[in-house]
Amino acid sequence: MQPTAVARYHPRDMNKALVLTLLLATSAFTFAQTATSKEVDAVYPAAHELYLDIHQSPELSSHETQTASKLAERLRGLGYEVTEHVGGTGIVAILKNGNGPTVMLRTELDALPVEEKTGLPYASKVHATDDAGHDVPVAHACGHDLHMAAILGTATIMAQSKNSWHGTLMLIGQPAEETVVGARAMMADGLYTRFPKPDYALALHVTNELPAGIIGIVPGILTTAADSLRVTIYGKGGHGAAPHTAIDPIVIAARTIVTLQTIVSREVKPGEMAVVTVGYIRAGTKNNIIPNEAEFGLTVRTYNPQVRKQVLAAIDRIVKAEAMAGGVTREPLIEHYESTDSVYNDPALAERLRPALEAALGKQNVETTAPITFSEDFGYFVGAGTASLFMRLGGADPAKLAEAQKTGVTLPSNHSSYFAPDVEPSLRGAIEAEVAVLRDLLNGKPSGLTQR
Ligand SMILES: [Zn+2]
Ligand SMILES: [Zn+2]
């Protein structure tokens, strides 16, 4: 399957008379596809070059200094007004083009502490020191390099076709998505006060679950809210042979963990999505010593904000009550150390933009897909007055994906050492989709009706 083959076709030597004839003879729908593809052809080499460069020089969350400056420099060269160091290493690039709405398009900047094992000639060999002082391999295993390359291609087309839209285009490079702190840091640094507050916020993310170049739309809730919690139970240490002189935090922790499993099964309404997972438990040093403390860590995933509140309150209640039942003299410590809201796609906006995407990519290349259980901090950009659409972008080689579906052996997911999107069709699809939705929202003429 070649999902974007139709959308990409264009005769390079098409002269103006022929363009005019075609324009008159065919529907705007057909013309829009061809013209956008031609525009993508023109910007593709520079976008691909940036992809290869950034792929081979990945940087960890909150340390994306070189990455940010590479993107900033290119956007500045296109005529965007670029501000660096927003919320740490974040960048904001503004292109004003008369009256009209403000539309924000976001890319992430960060890579992951993952060793790339794709075997690709441009595989990352980078190592860096993480925040804990450890030497770690670094790779763009989530595909944020592809998002940056796409935004460069999109930025170029938009800057060169200012007669196809009007309003304010706001491109942002967000740091630290993987640690879910970057979006909040940019907001706290005045993203919507120092710069225009967008009417619309857009983003996309590459996935191996869809064929390369396909756009997946999820109307409504897209990702889960995620909460990371650390619980410390304070007991009273002693000799393993004299439990009556101690308060055993291991037994209390074990009981607590079992009771926590009843939140989803007994308290949350059936059909509502909620996950409560205890991912680790740590206590003790030796078989005949009762330790002073026990610690365990949880991840909580929910879609519905009310359910999220309910689950977190239940965890708090159960942890405290089980500790009290165990006779502790000090209340347990419950730390919420990482959290992010779910990402919500405005269903009306998704439906409004679907025709523009279908016109640009071909109807068969735009799918409605199910929500995903991953989490994302893009939700912090969305709120009163800012509607959003976060698209899924297919990144899988169609033949490999078809084989995976046949054998049941799934392709490497984002964050895997082996994650490697099929670059050209994914990158082209991303640029086509971004330009299509931007032109639609920026009250432009149909995609492609530019001066080219
Ligand atoms: Zn990721
Ligand atoms: Zn990601």
**Tell me: the pLDDT tens digits for 320-376?**
999 999 999 999 999 998 888 889 999 999 999 999 999 999 999 999 998 887 888
pLDDT tens digits for range 416-438: 999 999 999 999 999 999 999 99
Instruction: Output the CA 260–ligand 2 centroid distance in Å.
Output: 30
Would the pLDDT of 448 be above 60?
no
For position 444, what pLDDT does the model report?
54
Instruction: Output the CA 207–ligand 2 centroid distance in Å.
Output: 9
For position 260, what pLDDT does the model report?
98
Amino acid at 116: E
Instruction: Output the CA 117–ligand 1 centroid distance in Å.
Output: 17
Q: How confident is residue 384, by pLDDT bands cut at 50, 70 and 90?
A: confident
Instruction: Output the CA 291–ligand 2 centroid distance in Å.
Output: 40
Which segment of 27-31, 58-62, 136-140, 194-198 scores lowest on mean pLDDT?
A: 27-31
Calculate Rg over the CA atoms of the chain.
Answer: 25
Ligand nearest to the CA of 207: 2
135-137 and 215-217 as β-strands: parallel, antiparallel, unpaired? unpaired
Instruction: Output the CA 143–ligand 2 centroid distance in Å.
Output: 6
| pLDDT, averaged across the chain | 90
Would the pLDDT of 289 be above 90?
yes
Instruction: Output the CA 1–ligand 2 centroid distance in Å.
Output: 26
Average pLDDT over residues 269-280: 94
Average pLDDT over residues 133-149: 97
Would the pLDDT of 21 be above 80?
no
Q: 158 vs 14, which has greater pLDDT?
A: 158
Instruction: Output the CA 144–ligand 2 centroid distance in Å.
Output: 6
For position 35, what pLDDT does the model report?
54
Between helix 347-361 and helix 423-441 the angle, nearest 10°, is: 120
Average pLDDT over residues 153-173: 97
Would the pLDDT of 8 be above 60?
no
For position 33, what pLDDT does the model report?
40
Average pLDDT over residues 209-223: 94
For position 339, what pLDDT does the model report?
86
* Neighbouring C-beta atoms of residue 440, cutoff 10 Å: 22
| Nearby residues of 107 by Cβ (< 8 Å), 6 or more positions away | 71, 144, 147, 148, 150, 151, 171, 172, 173, 174, 203
For position 52, what pLDDT does the model report?
98
For position 11, what pLDDT does the model report?
33
Ligand nearest to the CA of 145: 2
Instruction: Output the CA 204–ligand 1 centroid distance in Å.
Output: 12
Q: How far apart are CA 1 and CA 405, in angstroms?
A: 14
Average pLDDT over residues 86-90: 98
Provide, rounded to the nearest whole percent, the portion of the chain with pLDDT above 70.
Answer: 90
For position 371, what pLDDT does the model report?
87
Instruction: Output the CA 180–ligand 2 centroid distance in Å.
Output: 10
For position 370, what pLDDT does the model report?
87
Average pLDDT over residues 126-143: 96
pLDDT tens digits for range 38-57: 899 999 999 999 999 999 99
Q: Looking up tokens 């150390």, which residue turns up?
A: 337
For position 31, what pLDDT does the model report?
40
Instruction: Output the CA 174–ligand 1 centroid distance in Å.
Output: 13
Instruction: Output the CA 450–ligand 2 centroid distance in Å.
Output: 32
Average pLDDT over residues 157-179: 96
Q: Three-state secondary structure along the chain?
A: CCCCHHHHCCCCCCCHHHHHHHHHHCCHHHHHHHHHHHHHHHHHHHHHHHHHHHHHCCCECCCCHHHHHHHHHHHHHCCCEEEEEECCCEEEEEEEECCCCEEEEEEECCEECCCCCCCCCCCCCCEEECCCCCEEECECCCCHHHHHHHHHHHHHHHHHCHHHCCEEEEEEEECCCCCCCHHHHHHHCCCCCCCCCCCEEEEEEEEEEEECCCEEECCEECCCEEEEEEEEEECECEECCCHHHCECHHHHHHHHHHHHHHHHHHHCCCCCCEEEEEEEEEECCCCCEECCEEEEEEEEEECCHHHHHHHHHHHHHHHHHHHHHCCCCCCCEEEEEEEECCCEECHHHHHHHHHHHHHHHCHHHEEECCCCCCCCCHHHHCECCEEEEEEEEEEECHHHHHHHHHHCCCCCCCCCCCCCCCHHHHHHHHHHHHHHHHHHHCCCCCCCCCCC
Q: How far apart are CA 80 and CA 74, in angstroms?
A: 9
For position 325, what pLDDT does the model report?
98
Average pLDDT over residues 191-204: 97
Which segment of 33-47, 49-63, 373-387, 394-408 scores lowest on mean pLDDT?
A: 33-47
Average pLDDT over residues 286-308: 96
Phi-psi region of 286 (alpha: psi -120 to 50; beta: other; left: phi over 0): beta
Instruction: Output the CA 170–ligand 1 centroid distance in Å.
Output: 23
